[in-house]
Amino acid sequence: MALAGVGVATTHFFVDNSIADSLYLAATAALGISLVISALFIRPDPKVWPFVLAIVAFSVAGQLFDASYDLTENLHVLSDASFFLVQFVLIIGLVIVVSQRLGHDAKGALADGVIIGLGAWVLVWVWLLQPTFGDGSSSSLSTAFRGATLGLSTIVLFLLATLFFSDAVKTTSVVLGGAGIAATLLGDVLFSANLRSDVDVSSSLSDAPYVLGLCLVAASFLHPTIRDITAPATHRQDPPLLTRLITTTLALVLPIAVITATDARDTTDRVVRTVSIVVLAAAVITRVIQSVRDNAKAQASLLRAARLDSLTGLPNRSLMLEHITQAIQDSWKSKRQPTVLFIDVDRFKNINDSLGHMTGDDVLSAVAKRLTNAVTATAIVGRISGDEFVVLDPATETSTEAVLLAEKVLDAFREHMALRQGDMFVSASIGVAMAENDEELSAEDLLRRADTAMYRAKDAGRNCIALYDDSMLERVSQRLSVETALYRALDRRELRLVHQPILDVEIGIVIGFEALMRWTRDDGDVSPAEFIPIAEETGTIVPIGSWAILDALTHLRRWIDSGVVGSQTTMSVNVSPRQLHDPNFVSVVSEALSRSRIAADQLWLEVTESVMMTEPEQALSSLRRLVSLGVRVAIDDFGTGYSSLSLLQKFPIQRIKIDRVFVNNLADDHNSQSLVRTIIAMAESLSLDIVAEGVENREQLRALSLLRCHKAQGYLISHPVSVDAVPSTVAHLENHSEWSALRRGRPS
Ligand code: C2E
Ligand code: MG
Ligand code: MG
């Protein structure tokens, strides 16, 4: 229909009057039929019909009056009045449609529409209205109607411009209808131009746009999207910014150029021109101010969005620091001591690694919700990174209040979280720090203190609260220096292994060694109890642990080759959970075995019970592969962890090392005796090997012997000794007759 409209309108322009009239009639008929079809089959909102019918009725009336206007002058006036009413009803209809399609940038679209409407008004005035005003060709009433109709046309143009500049989606019906109305506006202009005595526009030219307009409106009513013409436009699309800029600029420049180039004819003309230009200028200025403001607002909201965490919508680190700074500043004038809680979700990495990042995200969102619900309205919750949240309460006054707040937050974790993947319990470690009035503290400092306290809470076993005090900072800085030095310790050859013999007391033979790491720094030795946990946490344990295995096996090979120990002597190396989670660990072990030419069953890997607790599946798969190589696994410090018997059965274990706390009181404490007896009975029933650790005196050794535990290590037998001291230590131990009368010599 739209294409037919273009064709008919073009034809209309070239053919002579009688055919042109038939074409006009055909286009009118096409519109009529389309409207009927639309009403019957497409069924637009019934609200449109009064407008459509009124417009059709007034147009037909106008045409009829116009066709017979030779008869009387009055009919001429009636014709002009009818076209005025068409325009009037059209405006009301358009207002309804446009109001639903203003989109998000309504003010901008309206303002640009106003500028275009005003610009058009100036042109219409200078070119059409003023020259035809009072030239005596028609009655003054008729001229008034015609002038008013043209004036209304500029309002129609304003509405069309607004409609097209808005960022709401334009449906096909809207585009076709809008184009149709625009075509009729062009027709109006050409028709009015014809009334100027100095312009001659043929009716075949001035009617062609009407023909096109009729067809386009007909097409618009035949398209299914006509159903939504009065519905609010929902979707957004990119506003036509460039077209908008060009059109608005033209609407500004053209009128100014025209007004400058032509002289005002009389006082009325001058007044109209001046008022129009002033109003136009005012509209432009308003638009510019509005634009600048909108820009500033958009920028501010972008900035804000950049400071909110995208997952939880909570303030991020930089915004939280600002809030804390503000709270500290405000507290100077009052008794208040703002509290900062540093909250770290316990074992979040495990959740992420074992259940996936989606679950991790769900947990974080749930935590964010819990925290926000747990705190008072004055407190602010933020997420500053990964699993770290911060709560700021600017209104606390005493440390009791601060701790109460922290307890409330910790309580929020007690209940399980219902996630898509099922129920889950999550705990948190909370560090508490307060800004005291008598010291100058930056937001960063306060946050760091809370962070430090949080680490103390983690050290204390997680799921608890720690209140900051100054001694913590010292610990942290010491820890930090250990951490950095540890990174370089391996390169600087500051690490070495010492070896503690494991003796079979019954036969008096050193059956193996446990390799223990030592770190000698410039300022003395660092205890493994201090640096091993840091190495585990930072991951440094992976390279240094690999080094330890190779180094220990290399030395064992040397001792076997030089006859210091028997060829079946074993080497025990401690392995941390982190190493078992390293995908290269199995190949590291097998390479060390092949380089040292030590049989796999001469290597014992000592793991603690904690391995079975955190991420058991990952550790299990590494251990299984190692065991299939022939390597053997010992549970170290048995009895001090939380291993369940079922896990014990599930893990491929060949040895249990009884922790020294049980050995310690063995000689005189019945409880310890029955405990060790139970452990040994259990190990025997599972066919596990047993070694007692930390044997420091003969009574302990005797008690162990009575319980049928013959393998032991401890200060009584030998302290861990350096590599060089191993041969003499072994010789001394094996020549010492007191271990057993049953000494049978070295097994081959
Ligand atoms: P562990 O594996 O249970 O090692 C036994 C610890 O007890 C060693 O402490 C040893 O020196 C000490 N010890 C031995 N006999 C006696 C005794 O009769 N009485 C007392 N009171 N203590 C005794 P050390 O060398 O300080 O190592 C502490 C822990 O550090 C080890 O406990 C082990 O868990 C860890 N560790 C040491 N070296 C390594 C290593 O190379 N890798 C890993 N991952 N951990 C290591
Ligand atoms: Mg050990
Ligand atoms: Mg141990």
Nearest Cα neighbor of 321 from 338, 344, 296, 302 is 338
Please check whether residue 372 lies inside any domain of the structure. yes
CA of 500 from ligand 2 middle (Å) equals: 10
Residues 508 and 560 in one domain: yes
Q: pLDDT grade, residue 560 (50/70/90)?
A: very high
What is the predicted pLDDT for the residue at 552?
98
Same structural domain, 423 and 562: no
Domain total in the chain? 3
Residue 696 CA: nearest ligand 1 atom is: 18
How many A from CA of 710 to the centre of ligand 1? Answer: 20
Query: Residue 691: beta bridge partners?
Result: 657
Do 525 and 609 belong to one domain?
yes
Range of the domain at 379: 317-468
Question: Does ligand 1 have an atom closer than 6 angstroms to the CB of 190?
Answer: no
Pair 497, 397 in one domain: no
Protein residue closest via CA to atom 3 of ligand 1? 637
Those residues with Cβ within 8 angstroms of residue 703's Cβ, 6 or more apart along the chain or in another chain: 666, 667, 673
Give the H/E segment covering residue 380.
strand 380-385
Rounded to the nearest angstrom, the distance between the alpha carbon of 713 and the centre of ligand 2 is 11
| Pair (138, 268) in one structural domain | yes
Residue 47 lies in a domain: yes
pLDDT surpasses 70 at 629: yes
The response to whether residue 714 sits with its C-beta less than 6 Å from ligand 1 reads: yes
Phi and psi (nearest 5°) for 502? -110, 125
Q: Which of 36-45, 246-255, 547-556, 651-660 reaches the highest mean pLDDT? A: 547-556
The pLDDT assigned to 638 comes to 86
240 and 134 inside one domain = yes
**Predicted confidence (pLDDT) at residue 427 exceeds the cutoff of 50:** yes
Examine the domain organization and report whether 263 and 349 are in the same domain. Answer: no
Same domain for 626 and 711, yes or no, is: yes
Over residues 298-323, the pLDDT tens digits come to: 888 888 778 899 899 999 999 999 99
Q: Which residues of 132-152 are buried (b: 16+ CB within 10 A; e: fewer)?
A: bbeeeebeeebbebbbbbbeb
pLDDT reading at 748 higher than 80: no
Instruction: Give yes or no: residues 285 and 380 share one domain.
Output: no
Higher pLDDT, 567 or 147: 567
| Cα separation, 102 vs 109, whole angstroms | 7
Domain end among 262, 294, 326: 294
Q: Give me the residues near ligand 2 (ion), CB cutoff below 5 Å.
A: 574, 606, 636
The pLDDT tens digits for 506-551 are 888 999 999 999 999 888 888 898 899 889 888 899 999 999 999 9
The rounded distance, in Å, linking the Cα atoms of 287 and 108 is 7
CB distance 472 to 453 below 8 Å: yes
The pLDDT value recorded for residue 746 is 37
Residue with tokens 């040397």, as numbered in its chain: 558
**Sorting pLDDT into bands at 50, 70 and 90, what band is 504?**
very high
Given this model, what pLDDT does residue 75 score?
75
- What residues have CB less than 8 Å from 509, skipping those under 6 apart? 503, 566, 734, 743, 746, 747
Q: For the residues 361-382, what does the mean pLDDT come to? A: 93
* Ligand 1 atom 37 nearest Cα: 516
Q: What is the pLDDT of residue 739?
A: 65
Note whether 284 and 348 are same-domain residues: no
Q: Please tell me whether residues 287 and 382 are part of one structural domain.
A: no
Residue 474 lies in a domain: no
pLDDT in tens, 214-231: 999 999 999 999 988 888
pLDDT mean across residues, the chain: 88
CATH (domain of 633): 3.20.20.450
Instruction: Compute the distance from residue 618 Cα to the ligand 2 centre, in Å.
Output: 21
The phi and psi torsions of 515 (rounded to 5 degrees) equal -85, 130
Ligand 1 atom nearest the C-alpha of 695 is 18
Q: How many other CB atoms are found less than 10 A from the CB of residue 418? A: 10
In a domain, 312, yes or no: no
Q: Looking at beta carbons, which pairs linking 350-358 to residues 24 or more positions away fall under 8 Å?
A: 350/614, 350/615, 351/424, 351/426, 353/615, 353/618, 354/615, 354/617, 354/618, 355/421
Q: How far is CA 147 from CA 141, 190, 556, 736, in A?
A: 10, 14, 111, 128
Q: What is the pLDDT of residue 108?
A: 83
Q: What pLDDT, on the 0 to 100 scale, is given for residue 69?
A: 55
Contact indicator for 633, 627 with CB cutoff of 8 Å: yes
- Backbone phi, psi, residue 314, to 5°: -85, 160
pLDDT (0 to 100) of residue 741: 41
d(CA 270, CA 597): 109
Check pLDDT > 80 for residue 132: no
The CATH number of residue 353's host domain is 3.30.70.270
Tell me which residue has its CA closest to atom 10 in ligand 1: 720
| Residues in Cβ contact with 299 at an 8 Å cutoff, skipping those fewer than 6 apart | none
Q: Is the pTM of this model over 0.75?
A: no
Structure tokens at 534: 């840091």
* Pocket probe mutation, ligand 1, options 516, 637, 716, 718, max atoms within 8 Å of Cβ: 516
Q: Give yes or no for a contact between 588 and 546, defined as CB atoms under 8 angstroms apart.
A: yes
Q: Left, alpha or beta for 392 (phi > 0: left; psi -120 to 50: alpha)?
A: beta
CB 580 less than 6 A from any atom of ligand 1: no
Closest by CA position to 51, among listed 82, 88, 100, 99: 88
Instruction: Examine residue 219 and state whether it is found in any structural domain, yes or no.
Output: yes
Assigned domain for 338 exists = yes
* Domain end marker among 446, 468, 490: 468
In this model, does residue 675 exceed pLDDT 70?
yes
Domain contains 677 = yes
Ligand 1 atom closest to Cα of residue 536:
44
pLDDT at residue 245, rounded to an integer: 84
The whole-number pLDDT of residue 742 equals: 37
Q: Has residue 301 been placed in a domain?
A: no
Are residues 59 and 202 located together in one domain of the fold? Answer: yes
Residue 241 pLDDT: 76
- Point out the least confidently predicted range of 54-63, 175-184, 381-390, 615-624: 615-624
Confidence (pLDDT) at 70: 63
Supply the pLDDT for residue 743: 35
Domain boundary among 437, 468, 499: 468
What pLDDT is stored for residue 134 in this prediction? Answer: 52
